[in-house]
Structure 1
Amino acid sequence: MDYIREFDIRLDKEYYYAGEQVSGAVILDTIENFKLKTIRVILRGKVHVEWRILLSGDRRTVKEDQYFVDERQVIWGEQNSENTIPILPRGYHRFNFQFKLPESNLPCSFESKPCCIRYYIKVTVDIPYASPPQGMKYFTIIGPHIDCMDEQYLKPVVFEDDKSTCCWCCKKSTVSLRCVLERSAYVCKESLKLKATIDNRSDEEVALRVRLEQCCEFFIDRGVLGVSKDIKHLVFEYRGSQVKPNSRTKWDSSNSLVIPPMPTTLVGICRLAQIYYVLTVSLDTQKDADIVQLSFPITIATVPFRIPNSTTPPIIKYEHAASHVEGGQYIGPEFLLGQVYDGNDHNLRESVVLYRPVYVTVDTRSEEGPKK
């Protein structure tokens, strides 16, 4: 509108946890008096899944939504008033609003091409004789609430397996692998606590390989069976040195398996999306891969592990996800502020990103424990 100099939505912070209060304000700076019926504010959180499928030879788009939060307020005027429409005087105006997020587990904010989980404030300035201006402000939800100190995650997980090779029905040699995972839940930027014992009684050298995979599953309730999409990303891979024949060695991950920033584990909370992680430990030879393989479920949490007998809590930070995992490499076109190409490549600048979700990480120095 010509008589609105500024229309903005401001929040007290950019990320929230379930149960917290979202506080903000709508800013209107006007250059003349005008009739203003209402200012409506909506707090909404939803999951949207969408992709194209081949059905009877035709490419069709399938999509579905699920809402977690849908709250509304009128911060100026009355919603169903039939009285005289009030006049907003010219000048700078600040209209405050507050919403209470539900205490239930909320899925984390997430951005990918087939699925997005978004939370936002939408404001509509209802002017009776003109098209109502609208604005949206996106923010990040840190969730769901998963505490690394929960008893179920503190129990060490022990797996072992072996592989025997045979020659004319006689056992020739055996390769065994035993792994101990100190705990099964971690916050991003922590180091996985893994120990491995390798007993190589074969005639070939073997090498340890550790890899962490992100598994994303998206669903659409369509027809009897529905439609699904599975995506896997390699988070990291570690390769150890060769273990010589007829030898035994032990390996400790120490600080070599650091988890990069990425989305939280999301299982059993959203019916349209699941995100989980699998740690695979295997032994390879020069000829064959994964001759012995062990798999551990890994939970990416939002509340970090606290070092016993330490008075210093872990330092929490919030970072964008790594670009090589789902939820970190994709930015919706509506969040990219580009420019019109004028034929001169030297004038092109990088696009400005208006919004990207962040995820909980810890300062690596917090793992060192209290200084003596």
Structure 2
Amino acid sequence: MSLSSIKSFSLELDGPADAAFTVGEAVSGQVVLELRRDTRVESMKVQGRGVATAHWLENRGMNSVYNDYTSKITYFRKRQHLIRDNGEATVLHAGRHEFPFSFQLPEETLVTSFEGKHGSIRYWVKVKLHRPWSTVRKLKKEFTVIEPIDINTPTLLAPQAGTKDKMARAWYRNFGQVSVTAKIDRKGYTPGEVIPVFAEFDNSTSRSIVPRAFITQTQTFIARGTMKQKRSVVATLCGDIVGAKSRETWHGRAIKIPPVGPSILQCRIIKVEYLLKVCVDVPGTSKLCLELPLVIGTIPLHPFGSRTSSISSHYSVNLEWLRMAIPEQPEPPPDYSSVVTEEEAEQRNHAAAPQPADDLSGILERPLMAFVQEFRFRPPPVYSEIDPNPQPINMRPRCMTY
């Protein structure tokens, strides 16, 4: 049988092209086969898979031998026969044939789809068509899976704060102490939100300092007990110069989260983590950096989730007045090397094995799409201690006397 008997062979998934799935949902579609004439088919099957893979090569010696570091985790594997192999070929008549299929994603946690420099988390549907005395025809189509991360939880709604100080020295001379205190209203955010940064910079030195804030992304890949990391700066905020023997305060300076992918914390071989770094550049000495952990979620903050978090919730949602502080064309983020202190760099060099230098330009290999789950129910009404519909005084019941 010649290949010309097949006019077209395609795989179509139901729903929009950019649809995202989550745990327990059904992935459905159809395989469309158009034939010019009657064709014998042995079997046709569709397979759904989800796999996380980490892989890189390293050359640790002067020779040309490379060590292969590979690890893999299969999250699900399902198969469905569209035409079963019963020992005899099935004859399909000329024309158009549609074979629907559907399978359900596991109820267990599925990690968000991801593409990185040293690994990926991919989900796909593959179809194989077997015919007598012919090569196997294959089709493959990837789809996106999103792990729901609801930031409306006590852990992610908790404020994050810290203090750090350092004695500025150059050679044998002390210039004085620099201290940084910073706070953000919560740990969890979604892409597109603005983080109000509250900070205080106390400059007791004889030199001027420059405060800055960064949002950094760290991709961690693990294989054969070895770790590989890639760090990028995804957003930056530069403050005003703080003169010698003076103090500067940030009353909610705004730094906006760009459209980055959500945090990945549940995968054993690939992790994506975020930090807010509040740093001070001191001329003539190393940087002082304070780190506050961030979790980028997929389910946005509910403005009326609870009364206890009403202050932080309303402050984070009603930020119209802060939009004027966000430039229309923000300056490009700096290199990650400009954010890391010398002590941190030295500790990481001793902790990790020698590795080729990564490109820390702040530009990711492929843009990561962040999908935000929409609310399907109306939010509950706002609680109020004042009766919105008071009765007139003459309509109120009076006490009866006898």
TM-score range, shorter chain: 0.7 to 0.9
Gaps of 5+ in 2: 311-316, 318-331, 334-358, 375-402
Distance of aligned partners of 1:327 and 1:63 in 2 relative to their CA distance in 1, 3 Å threshold: farther
Inter-partner Cα distance in structure 1 for 2:40 and 2:208: 82
Q: Measure how far apart 1:92 and its partner are.
A: 1.2
Task: Decide which of 65, 69, 76 is 2:72's aligned counterpart.
Answer: 65
Aligned to 2:385: none
Q: Match of 2:187?
A: 184
- Give the structure 1 partner of residue 107 of structure 2: 103
2:232: which partner in 1? 233
The DSSP-based 3-state class of the residue aligned with 2:4 is: coil
Match of 1:244 in 2: 243
Looking at structure 2, the residues matched to 117 and 127 of structure 1 have their Cα atoms a distance apart, in angstroms, of 32
- 1:35 equivalent in structure 2: 40
Which one has a larger percent helix, Structure 1 or Structure 2?
2
Structure 1, 23-32 or 60-69: larger mean CA deviation: 60-69
The answer to whether the 8 A contact 2:58-2:68 is kept is: yes
Distance between the aligned counterparts of 1:327 and 1:286, measured in 2?
A: 24
Alpha-carbon RMSD: 3.1
Deviation at 1:361, TM superposition (A): 5.5
Paired residue for 1:133? 137
Whole-Å Cα distance in 2 between the matches of residues 270 and 90 of structure 1?
Answer: 47
Q: Distance in 2 between matches of 1:302 and 1:95?
A: 34
Q: Secondary structure at the match of 1:287?
A: coil
Summarize the Cα distance change of 1:21–1:97 in structure 2 as closer, same or farther, 3 Å threshold.
same
* Deviations, residues 279-303 of structure 1 (Å, cap 9, x unaligned): 211222233342x321111111111
Post-superposition CA distance 1:206-236 (Å, at most 9, x none)? 2211112211111112xxxx33312111222
Q: Which runs of 5+ in 1 are unaligned?
A: 315-321, 332-355, 364-372
Q: Are 1:161 and 2:164 counterparts?
A: yes
Report the AA paired with residue 258 of structure 2.
P
Work out the CA distance in 2 between the residues paired with 1:49 and 1:165.
41
After superposition, the Cα gap between the structure-2 partners of 1:73 and 1:270, relative to the gap in structure 1 and judged at 3 Å, is same
Q: Contact 1:196 / 1:251 at 8 angstroms: preserved in 2?
A: yes
Query: d(CA) in 2 for partners of 1:325 and 1:163?
Result: 26
Partners of 2:259 and 2:368 within 8 A in 1 = no
TM-score normalised according to structure 1 size: 0.76
Q: Paired residue for 2:222, among 215, 219, 222? A: 219
Structure 1 contact 9–135 (Cα < 8 Å) conserved: yes
Q: Separation in 1 of the partners of 2:26 and 2:360? A: 30
The 3 A distance-change label for structure 1 pair 263 and 172 is: closer
Task: Flag the 1:87–1:240 CA change in 2: closer, same or farther, 3 A.
Answer: same
Alpha-carbon spacing, 1:253–1:116, altered in 2? closer, same or farther (3 Å): same
Q: What is the match of residue 395 of structure 2?
A: none
Contact 2:27-2:105 within 8 A present in 1 as well: yes
1:172–1:286: structure 2 CA closer, same or farther, 3 Å change rule? closer
Identity %: 26
> What per-residue deviation string (whole Å, max 9, x for no partner) do you get for residues 159-202 of structure 1?
112334699x9997443321111111111111123211223333
1:303 aligns with 2:307: no
Q: Decide which of 9, 22, 38 is 1:17's aligned counterpart.
A: 22
What's the secondary structure of 2:255's corresponding residue? coil
User: Which moves more between the two structures, 177-186 or 48-57?
Assistant: 48-57
Are 2:230 and 2:360, in contact at CA under 8 Å, matched by a contact in 1? no
Letter in 1 for 2:218: C
Q: Is the 8 A contact 1:111 1:327 kept in 2?
A: no
1:285 alignment counterpart:
282
What is the alpha-carbon distance in structure 2 between the residues aligned to residue 325 and residue 102 of structure 1? 36
Higher strand share: 1
Distance between the aligned counterparts of 2:110 and 2:360, measured in 1? 21
- Secondary structure, counterpart of 1:358 in structure 2: coil
Partner of 1:330: 365
Aligned: 1:46 with 2:51: yes
Distance 1:362 1:279, change over 3 A: farther
CA distance in 2 between counterparts of 1:282 and 1:358 reads 29
1:280-328 residue CA offsets vs partner (Å, 9 max, x unmatched): 11222233342x3211111111111122389xxx9xxxxxxx9998998
Q: Once the 2 structures are TM-superposed, how far is the Cα of residue 138 of structure 1 from its aligned partner?
A: 0.8
Aligned to 2:370: 359
Change (3 A) 1:29 1:107: same
Distance of 2:362 and 2:243 partners within structure 1 = 41
In 2, Cα distance between the equivalents of 1:297 and 1:37?
56
Kept in 1, the 8 Å contact 2:50–2:75? The answer is: yes
Between the two proteins, the alignment pairs up a number of residues equal to 317
CA contact (8 A) 2:232 2:364 kept: no
Partner of 1:203: 206
Q: Aligned to 2:66, what secondary structure does the other structure show?
A: strand
From the superposition, tell whether residues 140 and 163 of structure 1 become closer, same or farther in structure 2 (CA, over 3 Å): same
Q: Is the 8 A contact 1:183 1:193 kept in 2?
A: no
Q: Which AA in structure 1 matches 2:284?
A: K
What is residue 367 of structure 1 aligned with on the other side? none
Match status 1:75 vs 2:82: yes
Aligned amino acid, residue 63 of structure 1: T
Match of 1:350 in 2: none
Instruction: Could you list the structure 1 runs, at least 4 aligned residues long, displaced by more than 4 angstroms after superposition.
Output: 164-167, 169-173, 322-328
Amino acid paired to 1:124: K
| Cα separation, 2, equivalents of 1:199 and 1:244 | 10
Query: For the structure 1 residues 248 and 330, does the alpha-carbon distance in structure 2 shift closer, same or farther, using more than 3 Å as the test?
Result: closer
Distance 1:184 1:33 in 2: 62
Which one of the candidate residues 115, 121, 125 is aligned to 1:121? 125
